[in-house]
Chain A
């Protein structure tokens, strides 16, 4: 049953892709077919993977074509199924949203091509999460990268979209190259290309090989996940894509990197040396902190959200890094806790970041700008979008009782428990990481005060914002699904942790959930002997009770005694949008405090007639230094260009020279073959 559902999902996606390509001349039909197929495929994928998780067994499907080296074999084990559930939920909501979102593009853009790449992307994602043959995995990985590239640069008449797409493609391919090397090293050790032959294999290799394979995988998958310092494509590519694609990119495409790491670190490695966990934890902390610090400086709404993806990938990897360290220290139960924290945050990030990108999409769709400084007051014109975005903002800030709080709390608990597991100085890493996680979460809250308040509250800052209109019903439905998801994942934490038992059983050999449920399912506990508890359900119920019993009746009574009046306008004639605090002003204190990182540059030009204190026009320009681009990638790029210049000497264009190269290579390969 699982395999039938899964395969019919794949077939429907494929059929939807083909059908929308065929219908490209009829935009209305193409849009409907593409979205309906994407929705149906997602729901089938979701139901297949839900069955697979609760069945807690592995389903192996081998498609009847292919050969032993390149077999089309799929394996739906609990880990794969978990990522497929994430994919199914997010893709279903995004498909629903796309019904309305794509309508505006009808007649202006080729919706047939969009529908094709959209469905192919979903299909390739499902295959990446389930492929169990090296070549099949890499083919699915490449199909995913290429379809994502086409969707990112879909608005290809814009230069930034083309550049971002190419940057994504180049970095993604560099990453794939590293993955290929790592997989081939593993395959040469196991003698097979099937993932099942890699189980715990990496730990039997020599330390040098282990380390090399680990680093190759970390970089290869890290590029896709957006790990600092190989993250630079992400804040370029996510904002320029159409918003439904941004939601998928941030919600699930970067999670393929997380899936790959989970697969390699917890399936292929048995008990890895402790330095690996340390590296992952440290990179997680750095990514989380830098992600949120750069997000704070953005006033492009979608770029801000893209930077937050880097932050959340960092938080996920903090869980993974702690899990790896616990495994090395022989603490499988704590490793399970940390792994659950990371995986839980993966799903949570897919829901709230998907939601926020869809919300941003609605806002951009109706104001035609991504610049927050031109928005404002949208809560009155787009009330439902505003509520959905607010739910997402509270969730991503890790505030109770929503889902971000639960997974961050689990991460704290894992880090706290880590202090007692070793006597070496390594243990200081845990509380330091915990305190930096606290800094990250608090900065994220500051950032989302800005990201919600500046576009949605106070007065509109431009005419476009004043004329904004609420999104269409299907877009609102798509957002609402994810908003409900954020609430459900927060309140249902004690029921949901059971889902992780098959995964931890498969990878670590322990089940953690029964220890993590306290007070008959009312509260969540880390499962350690004296661990504290939280009860998001309890908090939510108390909030509801207090709201219904006190807030509502009193608010109604006080309303009668209230009058509307103007807000304080500093004595000027009337409050206008010019008086409002801007996004740039909001983050100014942090820009000054962290100026060592940002190296801000600002330029003010004032024109005046009588005295400089009464300027008639002011031009203000401010920018921060893109540290990684300037100090890491720019020199690297110069080196590559210089090397290419030098290589030009051997590319003379003479056919005789080329024949000579081919001949010499052939001889060398023959010699190599004879010796080997």
Chain B
């Protein structure tokens, strides 16, 4: 029963917080570029608008096109329930740990790539091809980073990983943790489609990746896909901050502690968002074929992290 309440609370947090994170990042970025920006609540207004609209479904598309937003949304939500957000004990930690989270996100991506090719438009295929390439190259670095934290906890279970880190506030200063953090952060940028890998604001055919795949979606399905994308971003960001810097994680979801936990979570997310915004503003988007080099750097950092676990 407690699990159900915890899951419901975390589900609410995921659904509610994800558009806000996207909005905050956009607004901060606008401010840094001396624009006013539409305000941090704009993503909610977008979702609300899209959910009330009608849809245009391409004549060439099959049922894969209609099923994909659901697969993507549900698998992302499920992954989100497996990570520790407020309490160190993830609500659905029993259902899977770090590996399951990555593979569930992979399931959503698999279907999204299929739907990109399903419409028959060249843009969709272009996006699918690039997305699958980049995510495949990001995977080994991500796995090395996860292995580094998992070796410390002796488990790939996120509850155990977060639990092992509680009380060691300054552990993230250990070299292995720092390298793994850097590797994971680079992967985060690639996986969430941010500059310098992908530009979430572009619709220019030469540069877009994620946007090209979802070009044919409209109305409620587009809302689901965009919501899922921002939940995925929240999940990966939370994974990063709570695996490497678990300060503020509460033992349980119950009692007054939960509010403190949520406060810490928001504070840490805000800090990470600022870092992402800074990175996005001072960098230009890379050419597609330079991205493997960035991911190779991530892989090297991951390897260094592993070696550091027993050198220091």
Interface residues of A (CB under 8 A from B): 379-380, 394, 397-400, 405, 409, 412-413, 416, 419-420, 428, 431-432, 434-439, 441-443, 445-446, 448-449, 452-454, 456-459, 518-519, 522-523, 528-535, 538-539, 542-543, 546-547, 551, 554-555, 558, 561-570, 575, 577, 579-581, 585-590, 592-593
* Segment of B90-98, B192-200, B260-268 in the binding face: B90-98
Residues of A close to B150: CB separation below 8 A: 416
Most buried by B among A452, A529, A568: A568
Q: Could you name 16 residue pairs across A and B whose Cβ atoms are closer than 8 Å?
A: A400-B104, A409-B100, A412-B156, A435-B299, A442-B132, A449-B128, A452-B114, A529-B154, A532-B98, A533-B95, A534-B95, A546-B74, A565-B59, A566-B60, A567-B60, A586-B117
Contact of B120 among A409, A420, A575 (CB under 8 A): A575
A434 to B302 alpha-carbon distance, docked (Å): 12
B117 and A581 contacting across the interface, CB-CB below 8 Å: yes
B70, A568: Cβ atoms closer than 8 Å: no
Contact A539 B96 (CB under 8 A): yes
Instruction: Check if B255 is an interface residue, CB within 8 A of chain A.
Output: no
A contacts with B: majority SS: helix
Residue of B102, B150, B215, B299 with most chain A CB atoms under a 10 A cut-off: B150
C-alpha spacing A593/B63, complex, angstroms? 33
CB within 8 A of B107: which of A394, A419, A564? A394
Residues of B within 8 A of A398 (CB): 103
Nearest A-chain residue to B63, judged by Cβ? A379
Chain A residues within 8 Å of B98, by CB? 532
Check A435–B144 contact: CB distance below 8 A.
Answer: yes
| Contact (Cβ within 8 A) A431 B306 | yes
The CA of A534 and the CA of B113, in the complex, are separated in Å by 25
Residue B84 at the chain A interface, CB threshold 8 Å: no
Of the candidates A380, A523, A546, A566, which one forms a contact with B95 in the assembled complex, judged by CB atoms under 8 Å apart?
Answer: A523
A575, chain B: closest CB distance, angstroms? 6
Is B121 a contact of A399 with CB atoms below 8 Å?
A: no
Q: How far is the CB of A401 from chain B (nearest CB, A)?
A: 9
Question: In the bound complex, what is the Cα–Cα distance between A454 and B62 (angstroms)?
Answer: 13
Stretch in contact with the other chain, from B35-43, B135-143, B246-254, B276-284: B135-143
Shortest CB–CB separation between residue B305 and chain A, in angstroms? 10
Q: Which one of B64, B160, B306 lies within 8 Å of A457 (CB-CB)?
A: B64
Cβ-defined contact, A522 with B59, below 8 A: no
Are A453 and B113 neighbours in the complex by a CB distance under 8 Å?
yes
* Chain A residues closer than 8 Å to B144, beta-carbon distance: 431, 435
Question: Which residues of B are found within 8 Å of A566, using beta-carbon distances?
Answer: 58-60
**Which B positions have Cβ atoms within 8 angstroms of A?**
53-64, 66, 70, 74-75, 77-78, 92-100, 102-104, 106-107, 109-110, 113-114, 117-126, 128-130, 132-133, 135-144, 147-148, 150-151, 153-158, 160, 164, 215-216, 219-221, 288-289, 292, 299, 302-303, 306-307
Besides A449-B114, A453-B114, 14 new A-B residue pairs in contact (Cβ under 8 A), listed by A number: A416-B150, A446-B135, A457-B117, A518-B94, A528-B155, A530-B154, A530-B164, A532-B93, A532-B160, A539-B95, A561-B219, A562-B219, A580-B121, A581-B128
10 interchain residue pairs of minimum CB distance: A581-B125, A532-B157, A532-B97, A446-B132, A458-B120, A567-B58, A453-B117, A442-B136, A438-B143, A562-B55
Give the residues in chain A near B132, CB-CB below 8 Å: 442, 445-446, 449
**Which residues of the partner chain B approach A539 to less than 8 Å between Cβ atoms?**
78, 95-96, 100, 104
B113 with A449: CB separation less than 8 A:
yes
Residue from A438, A442, A443, A542 within 8 A of B78 (CB atoms): A542
What residues of B have a CB within 8 angstroms of the CB of A435 in the complex?
Answer: 139-141, 143-144, 147, 299, 302
Chain B residues with CB below 8 A from A438, complex form: 102, 139-140, 142-143
Q: Chain A: which residue is nearest B66 at the CB level?
A: A555
Quick one: given A409-B99, A442-B106, A585-B129, are A565 and B288 in contact (CB under 8 Å)? Answer: no
Q: How far, in whole Å, are A533 and B102 apart by their CA atoms in the complex?
A: 14
Which chain B residue lies CB-closest to A525?
A: B157
List chain B residues, Cβ under 8 A from A416.
147, 150-151, 156
- Give bound CA distance, A456 to B120, whole Å: 11
Select which of B118, B122, B306 is within 8 A of A570 by beta carbon: B122
Contacts of A569 in B (CB 8 A): 121
- The smallest beta-carbon distance between A530 and chain B, in angstroms, is 4
Q: Given A420-B151, A523-B95, A538-B94, does the pair A457, B110 have CB atoms closer than 8 Å?
A: no
Flag if A543 contacts B78 (CB, 8 Å): yes
* Alpha-carbon distance A539/B138, docked complex (angstroms): 25
Q: Is the CB of B96 within 8 A of A535?
A: yes
Q: In the complex, what residues of B have CB within 8 A of residue A586's CB?
A: 117, 125, 128-129
Given known contacts A400-B103, A532-B155, A555-B70, A428 and B306 CB-to-CB distance under 8 angstroms: yes
Contact of A535 among B63, B95, B114, B130 (CB under 8 A): B95
A177 to chain B, nearest CB (A): 38
Q: Which residue of B lies closest to A554 (CB)?
A: B220
Contact between chains at A543 and B74 (CB < 8 Å):
yes
Q: A453-B128, A581-B124 are contacts. A400–B107 as well, Cβ < 8 Å?
A: yes
Shortest A493–chain B CB gap in Å is 12
State in angstroms the CA–CA spacing of A581 and B123 once bound together. 8
Q: How far is the CB of B74 from chain A (nearest CB, A)?
A: 5
- Kindly identify which residue among A394, A439, A532, A585 contacts B156, using a CB–CB cutoff of 8 Å: A532
CA distance A492 to B50 in the complex (A): 40
Q: Are B54 and A562 in contact (CB under 8 A)?
A: yes
- Pair B96/A534 contact, Cβ less than 8 Å: yes
**A563/B96 in contact, CB under 8 A:** no
**How distant is the Cα of A519 from the Cα of B95 in the complex, in angstroms?**
10
Q: Contacts of B121 on A, CB cut-off 8 Å? A: 567-570, 575, 579-580
Q: What is the bound-complex CA distance between A530 and B64, given in angstroms? A: 39
Return chain A residues, CB-CB under 8 Å to B97.
532-534
Q: A436-B140, A585-B129 are in contact. Are A561 and B55 (CB under 8 A)?
A: yes
Give the chain A neighbours of B143 by CB distance below 8 A. Answer: 434-435, 437-438
CA distance A538 to B78 in the complex (A): 10
Q: How far is the CA of A488 from the CA of B103 in the complex (A)?
A: 19
CA distance A637 to B154 in the complex (A): 50
Contact B133 A446 (CB under 8 A): yes
Q: Is there contact, CB below 8 Å, between A441 and B139? A: yes
Cross-interface CB contact of B153 among A394, A522, A530, A577, cutoff 8 Å: A530
Q: What are the residues of chain A within 8 A of B59 when measuring CB–CB? A: 564-567
A379 CB contacts on chain B under 8 angstroms:
62-64
CB distance from B230 to the nearest CB of A (A): 18
List the A residue with the shortest CB-CB distance to B157. A532
Partner of A568, one of B118, B148, B215, B220: B215
Q: Which of B96, B106, B113, B119 contacts A533 (CB 8 A)?
A: B96
Given contacts A534-B96, A539-B78, A568-B216, contact A589 B147 (CB under 8 A): no
A439 vs B53: C-alpha distance when bound (angstroms): 40
The answer to whether B137 touches A593, judged by C-beta atoms less than 8 angstroms apart, is yes
Contacts of B147 in A (CB 8 A): 416, 419, 431, 434-435
